[in-house]
């Protein structure tokens, strides 16, 4: 049995620090459902629609599976939306952000064993410059225990309070932006046991360690947002495009 987190405490940690780790949010069996769904997708990564896949480790336009990322895995494998993990995450997001909070986007990043790829320091908001007064919450859910060695998340406490910070492009990483001048000595690592999750806000500066371990590190990342009335056209179009490509892929994949 998992112990329900005290919502007031989580809300306070998020407001104060910009992130909060929850060590026991799901049971091993509940996480296994997610692991099975994601493994099925990563197992045929090369056959997924091109619009749904990225290789974060790719340089110079070389595309492989060095650090594979799947966009909208829950559109590709709809059973993911029916998992306890998804339903509990949505319910918790609604308790934290308020009624009308909706599921906006999901992705999954896999770092194979001995993968030197560090997810660079960034604020999620820097990639979305719409300026809309949107509150967004990310839930980072690993499918196995994760320590510093395996590529856990890390955060700069209170970094969400200073607005969007200056970022710079990262050589050989297409599209990646890195927060300038992060003082890593102030960062907090968030290792998690199986069944844990770590939550962060749209503005919180974060990064993930490389995976120096011997196990594959897979995380499912769910993003929730509020209010629903503010659906940026770009977000809506992004999803529609994905759904269209996935429908086409399903017809040819059948």
Ligand X SMILES: O=C(O)CCC(=O)C(=O)O
Q: Any contact of residue 219 with ligand X (CB under 6 A)?
A: yes
Contact status: 119 vs ligand X (CB under 6 A): yes
- Could you say which of 19, 121, 140, 155 contacts ligand X (CB under 6 A)? 140
Under the binding rule (CB under 6 A), the answer on residue 139 touching ligand X is no
HEC profile of 172-196:
CCCCCEEECCCCHHHCEEECECCCC
- Is residue 138 near ligand X by the rule CB under 6 A? yes
- CB 22 within 8 Å of CB 95: no
CB of 58 to ligand X, least distance (A): 15
* Residue (76 or 109) nearer to ligand X, CB: 109
Give the footprint of ligand X on residues 220-249 (CB under 6 A). 221
Angle at 45 between CA 40 and CA 49, to 5 degrees: 110
Q: Dihedral through CA 52, CA 57, CA 61, CA 62, nearest 10? A: -100
Q: Considering only residues 31, 75, 80, 109, which one is a binding residue for ligand X as defined by CB under 6 A?
A: 109
Examine residue 152 and tell whether it contacts ligand X (CB under 6 A): no
> Which is nearer to ligand X, 36 or 124 (by Cβ)?
124
**Binding status of residue 123 toward ligand X by CB under 6 A:** no
- Tell me if 146 contacts ligand X by CB under 6 A: no
User: Which residue has the closest beta carbon to ligand X?
Assistant: 208
CA distances from 222 to 1, 89, 212 (A): 23, 8, 25
Give min distance, CB of 251 to ligand X, in A: 31
Are the C-beta atoms of residues 100 and 228 closer than 8 Å to each other?
A: yes
In the complex, minimum distance from the CB of residue 62 to ligand X, in angstroms, rounded to a whole number: 20
Q: What are the CA-CA distances from residue 2 to residues 37, 91, 194 (Å)? A: 22, 15, 11
Site residues for ligand X per CB under 6 A: 109, 119, 124, 138, 140, 206, 208, 219, 221
């Amino acid at each position: 049995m998992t112990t329900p987190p005290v919502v007031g405490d989580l809300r306070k940690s998020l407001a104060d620090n910009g992130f909060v780790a929850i060590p026991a949010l799901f049971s091993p069996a509940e996480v296994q459902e997610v692991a099975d769904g994601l493994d099925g997708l990563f197992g045929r990564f090369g056959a997924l629609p091109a619009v749904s896949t990225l290789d974060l480790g790719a340089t110079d336009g070389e595309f492989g599976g060095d650090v594979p990322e799947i966009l909208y895995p829950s559109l590709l494998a709809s059973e993911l939306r029916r998992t306890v993990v998804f339903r509990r995450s949505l319910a918790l997001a609604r308790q934290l952000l308020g009624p009308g909070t909706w599921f906006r986007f999901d992705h999954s990043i896999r770092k194979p064993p001995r993968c030197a790829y560090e997810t660079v320091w960034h604020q999620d908001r820097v990639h979305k410059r719409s300026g809309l007064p949107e509150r967004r919450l990310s839930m980072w859910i690993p499918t196995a225990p994760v320590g510093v060695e395996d590529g856990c998340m890390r955060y700069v406490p209170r970094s969400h309070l200073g607005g969007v910070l200056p970022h710079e492009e990262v050589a050989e990483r297409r599209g990646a932006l890195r927060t300038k001048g992060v003082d890593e000595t102030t960062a907090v690592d968030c290792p998690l046991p199986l069944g844990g999750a770590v939550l962060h806000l749209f503005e919180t500066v974060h990064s993930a360690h490389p995976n120096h371990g011997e196990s594959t590190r897979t995380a499912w990342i769910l993003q929730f947002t509020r209010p629903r009335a503010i659906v940026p056209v770009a977000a809506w179009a992004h999803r529609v495009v994905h759904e269209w490509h996935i429908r086409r892929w399903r017809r040819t994949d059948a």
